[in-house]
Amino acid sequence: MAGELYIGLMSGTSLDGVDVALVEFNSAEFDSAQFKLNEFSEIGSAAAPLPKLLHTHFLPYPPALRTQILNLQHPSTNELETTALLANSLALLYAAAVQQLLAAANIAPAEITAIGCHGQTIRHQPQFKDGIGFSLQIVNAALLAELTDITVIADFRSRDIAAGGQGAPLVPAFHHALFSCPQTSRALINIGGIANITYLGSGDVLGFDSGPGNMLLDAWIKQHKNLDYDANGAWANSGQVIPTLLAAMLADPYFALVPPKSTGRDLFNDTWLLAKLAGGDYLAQDVARTLVALTAHSIVDALHRNCSPVDTVYLCGGGAHNTLLKNCLQALLGETKVESTARLGIGVDWVEAIAFAWLAKQCFDKKTANLPAVTGASGPRILGAIYQH
């Protein structure tokens, strides 16, 4: 029987662009989906088979668009108009990315059941006011449906927040569905702009944001080298960790919070970094090296505090390409193996895009997709708003 086709769109806090994944799910049951695993696959017998990843595409953000998004991270004049127009611009870009993917895959829009679109996070303040708060991901989903001739499912966080949750991270439910294995304890760590952890223990699932991933280092190298990121951590590797600076960074109260917890640029931003650097006279490369150490230490500290024991750590996201960061994590974790999600059948760049295809299917099938133990919501909820084509 032919499977259902979904598209997942993900643009994260790194602000590099949009990841697009074309995914096939078995039309009868998701658990019957087939995926050809590579010879190194370590999926356990109890884990759900992976959805079939048919095609991928990446469309980078134009520099001007990225600047607009960064500017909206802080209060400014005429925010309502700027946000609305930027939501339109994102819809146009996402539509172009979808159309390019479909053209490369030789698939017609009518063959796609729905697009799962995360949108671009602008503010994330769950439980900020009256115990509710908000999380804002912008995209004109109606325009995206109009431009692609495909049903669009967006706004995945709001219902969880309305139920008292953080609205994030959302991906642990997907990790649990695919990667749980009763014979081993696993931690999946997505290192994008923010680093988030999913712990899959014996019957336990935990997920939370550990702290900054790439975004502070990306901003620092942009300022000093006019580069978008530090490839393999090469620049940072030319510097030395500054112990006092690292200690001051790790003293931020966020790291001591008990999950459920989530964060973003609202906290870990240029202003936060400048405050930590105040009064110091540091070499730029030493600060870069210390920022890598911050990501590594905050991840490992969070694992030790909340997720022991862990047999294997699997990395995904852009940070999984950073050799220095991976080596730092391995050194701190000792005998715990550090691998990539490629060992589990999904390349490191596509886990989250596939997850949003999965979230879209859950919504379309009227199935819950949040994990209250992860987000803190009062119960399971169906996530997403449907813009029917």
Among the residue ranges 42-51, 94-103, 240-249, 341-350, the one predicted with the least confidence is 42-51
The β-bridge partners of 152 are: 115, 387
- Band the pLDDT of 36: cuts 50, 70, 90: very low
How confident is the model over 252-271, as pLDDT tens digits?
999 999 999 999 999 999 99
Are 176 and 319 in the same domain? yes
What is the span of the domain harbouring residue 16?
4-168+350-387
φ/ψ of residue 338, rounded to 5:
-115, 115
Are 42 and 87 in the same domain? yes
Are 87 and 103 in the same domain? yes
How confident is the model over 135-180, as pLDDT tens digits?
999 999 999 999 999 999 999 999 999 999 999 999 999 999 999 8
In the chain, the amino acid numbered 33 is A
* CA distances for 93 relative to 5, 59, 127, 138, 139, angstroms: 21, 8, 31, 13, 10
- Tokens representing 86 are 């930027």
User: How many beta carbons lie within 10 A of that of residue 108, not counting itself?
Assistant: 9
How confident is the model over 300-315, as pLDDT tens digits?
999 999 998 999 999 9
Q: Residue 340: which CATH number?
A: 3.30.420.40
Are 125 and 260 in the same domain? no
Determine whether 2 is exposed, middle or buried from the number of CB atoms within 10 Å of its CB (0-12, 13-18, 19+). Answer: exposed
Residue with tokens 């997505």: 190
Are 131 and 246 in the same domain? no
* CA distances for 88 relative to 102, 127, 147, angstroms: 21, 28, 11
Domain count, the chain: 2
Residues in the chain: 389
Are 266 and 381 in the same domain? no
